[in-house]
Amino acid sequence: MTIPDSKLAGRTAIVTGGGSGIGRAIAALFAKQGARVAILDLAGDDAAREITSAGGSALAITCDVTKQSDVEQAFARVAREYGALDVLVNSAGVAAVGTVEATTEQDLDRVYAVNVKGVYNSLRSGVAAMKRRGGSIINIASVASSVGIPDRFAYSMSKGAVLTMTLSVAADYVGAGIRCNAISPARVHTPFVDGYLASHYPGREKEMFDTLSRTQPIGRMGEPWEVAEVALFLASDAAAFITGSNFAVDGGFVSLKV
């Protein structure tokens, strides 16, 4: 048999949080592979311009994923301008540092609103858009979904929920031709990491960057494009037999003890 082409020519994709970091890398790669990409973010214009200037098709829609009405309106606009939805990537997320004692109610509410409710809102609209003709949903979870990480109480809670929402949607809609999978990165070098180091370790950024990099057995942080390549595979026909799975992109963080 012939392995299907993994490119996304002619397909419509929504990437939440596509304005920066991992989401931006995914949006750029999808567009490069022929997809019409809608970036749902509070600040996605620069990412969309970068794609269109390179000859791709991208639409930036200002959207607060914590608000269901915002998400519903954004999905409706994508349907009007780009047609039926084929791929949804839930990449919008925020982080918080602290144990359960150090996590304030405001911290918990903020992380929950974006990382849990925001994914729920997008899944709800995405499933409604896909259930007549199928599609691929990819949720960006984390190694914190499945292993304990110090000082990440709220973040771990939220990413555990992302993983279990993935499994639930995969089970409920497999008969409708919707595939739902998760990607669980370890530390990836994004602008968030640089900002975190500058805020918490001023003057020691390089030292702490190297320290954090060594927590991955492979000896470095991941790059956003490496996560994007896995997302491309899951979005494509090459992954047609895969649903309800969690893909670790973590340099051996979860499985290797070295």
- Residues 149-187 have pLDDT tens digits of 999 999 999 999 999 999 999 999 999 999 999 999 999
CA distance 181 to 258: 28
Q: Provide the 10 A C-beta neighbour count for residue 44.
A: 26
Residue 106 makes CB contacts below 8 A (sequence gap 6+) with none
Euclidean distance between CA atoms 10 and 37, whole angstroms: 10
pLDDT tens for 201-229 read: 899 999 989 988 998 999 999 999 999 99
**Nearest-angstrom CA–CA distance, 191 and 180:** 27
Cα distance between residue 79 and residue 59, in whole Å: 12
Of 13, 50, 56, nearest to 32 (Cα)? Answer: 56
CA 107 to chain centroid, in Å, comes to: 21
Neighbours of 253 (CB within 10 A): 20
Q: To the nearest whole percent, how much of the chain has pLDDT over 70?
A: 97
Here the tokens at position 130 are: 């896909």
DSSP letter at 162?
H
pTM: 0.94
Question: Which positions are annotated as active-site residues?
Answer: 155
User: Cα separation of 225 and 230, whole Å?
Assistant: 9
The topology (CATH level 3) of 12-186+222-249 is: Rossmann fold (3.40.50)
> Does 1 score more than 50 pLDDT?
no
* Residue 36 scores a pLDDT above 50: yes
Q: How far, in Å, are 60, 77, 100, 142 from residue 129 at the CA level?
A: 19, 12, 38, 26
